[in-house]
Amino acid sequence: MTALSDWTTFPRAPGVYVMSDSRGKVLYVGKAKNLRARLHNYAAPGGDGRPHVPHLLRRVADVRCIVTATEKEALLLENTLIKERRPPFNIFLRDDKEYLLLRIDRKEEFPRPELVRRVAKDGATYFGPYSSARGIRETLRVLFRLFSLCSCSRKKFASRSRPCLNFQMGRCGGACAGKITREEYLPYVDNAVRFLRGDYRELLKGWKEEMAGLARVMRFEEAAKIRDRIATVERTLIRQRVVRAVPGDVDAVGWFHDGGEITAAILHVRAGRLSDAHSYHFRSEGEQDEALSSFLVQHYSEDAYFPGEIILPMELRDAAPLASLLSDRSGNAVRVKAPRAGERARLVELAGRNAAEAHRMRREKEAAYDGLSFRLASQCRLPKPPVRIEGFDISNLSGTEAVGSMVTFIGGKPARKWYRKFAVRGIEGQDDFAMMEQVVRRRFGHDEDFGGLPDLVLIDGGKGQLSSAMAAMKEAGAGSIPVIALAKERVRGGATESRERIFLPGRMNPLFLPPNDPALLLLMRVRDEAHRFALSFHRARRARKAFA
């Protein structure tokens, strides 16, 4: 083991340093142009001035250095180690959502737009990323309506012998049935690409000339179709927000930090148009430029969409190796700069305002959920307000193809990364109690990382399911975690609606809350999601067995 006090033995070379505690758990991973100089800053009295450093150093028992050939390699290695070890003092982007992209490959015989989530180095043209699936699908509908593009899937395209319905409605050129040649079809594709890039001027000019030509020879119906097409594009143009004097594809990064909480916002400018914005939240106690550099390396992964330029709110000490690394990943030159004046500086300022607003909205939502969780804890006799809630449900058909589901809500929102499916094994007949016990026991007795233990377990069912779940959790050593059950009341007499019953351990009669109570609505949302997830898995297994 190498202590930090032995900093004079560390190499004077670029590389990565890994700080670990006495049990070998990695606490922090950092990079440096000169490892000895960087670690000397930590060893100096008072650390390097950052408020979290004394707390970090009290836990550090070992420092290991890995020398690299260049700063760029150090950046890459640091990112790899952070993803593998997830050190608590580093930034780690837990939101692994992949946004939608629009792909058009002109090398295909009849290119068509398709939605993808990753960029492949295949020579195709990509547009995006888009955070709103609804928005990009509306864009797709406009493309198919304006440019007569083929919308058939590859499987349908290969097997179709007669034109599709879109051809009969005049929205498709009939490529799937040989009604149009590739040479006649490609201009539609090129016009669609111009539309997506925002090159409206040439597009509208060509259409207006075509419309005038058709009108001169009295082909008024065809001219009217082009007139309607022009009107649609002009309405789209009016809705676009234009960023002046910022040509090409640019990502502007906004940065807002409040103590250890950081919110980053990225504005995507495509062909001079502000097309979309995304925000990210994480914690970091380190220096802001190091945190920003680590965020960029993680955000722009190998299969991300890379703009030609990334503009930042602050100068980075490792801007040159960062730009080189991102350029290698992209396959094209990527410039990284921090503008001080002009339109780019105003764009970064706008991104900063977006980051501040995203932070404010997040804090307000957290405050609202804090009140809701406190109310839930008070009504259901919980030891503390729950942040993480896990819901369990069983689905089967007369005992066949029995499955269980686990859904996770954090802060009132579904965390789909921690959803799990369970195929129930070894239980004959429709024994829901035994099935629930098995699923809960497997969840809490498993070595798999489920993202931590819940503050509350919600069971879909009544007293029997609740007792089974409690027995399983006690057997697995998780008996201290609160458990409740939620089930609808049976409809009796002239009642038209069934009330929701909440079953609590040690209470004979169920708890009834008003139907519009926010705490009850939260529990119902978790229960309904667990039911939906279990039912979809059960139906998939039944279909697989039926068609085997």
pLDDT for the residue 486: 94
233, 266: one domain: no
137, 208: one domain: yes
192, 269: one domain: no
The tally of domains found in the chain comes to 4
pLDDT for the residue 238: 45
Distance CA 339, CA 455 (A): 46
320, 392: one domain: no
Among 239, 257, 287, the domain-final residue is: 239
Strand order in the sheet with 114-116: 114-116, 100-104, 125-130
pLDDT for the residue 282: 83
pLDDT for the residue 52: 64
222, 263: one domain: no
Q: Where does residue 281 rank: exposed (0-12), middle (13-18), buried (19+ CB within 10 A)?
A: middle
pLDDT for the residue 407: 95
The CATH number assigned to the domain holding 511 equals: 3.30.420.340
pLDDT for the residue 264: 92
Distance CA 242, CA 237 (A): 9
Residue ranges making up the domain that contains 310? 249-359
Could you state, in chain order, the average pLDDT of each consecutive group of 10 residues for the chain (548 residues)?
Answer: 69 87 85 85 65 75 86 85 81 64 84 82 78 71 76 70 71 74 84 74 75 83 77 57 64 88 88 78 79 87 82 89 87 89 89 91 87 92 93 88 92 90 88 92 81 91 93 90 90 68 91 91 94 92 82
221, 273: one domain: no
119, 219: one domain: yes
pLDDT for the residue 239: 46
pLDDT for the residue 3: 66
525, 404: one domain: yes
pLDDT for the residue 328: 86
Give a yes or no: residue 368 inside a domain: no
- Compute and round to an integer the Cα radius of gyration of the chain: 29
Give a yes or no: residue 380 inside a domain: no
Give a yes or no: residue 33 inside a domain: yes
Distance CA 68, CA 83 (A): 18
What are the distances in angstroms from CA 83 to CA 199, 319, 396, 543?
Answer: 40, 21, 38, 37
298, 414: one domain: no
pLDDT for the residue 485: 95
pLDDT for the residue 233: 63
Q: Is 279 helix (H, G, I), strand (E, B) or coil?
A: strand
188, 52: one domain: no
Give a yes or no: residue 340 inside a domain: yes
458, 330: one domain: no
| CB 249, CB 334: distance < 8 Å | no
Distance CA 504, CA 149 (A): 58
What are the distances in angstroms from CA 61 to CA 24, 147, 230?
Answer: 8, 65, 69
131: Cβ–Cβ under 8 A, 6 or more apart, which residues?
99, 276, 277, 278
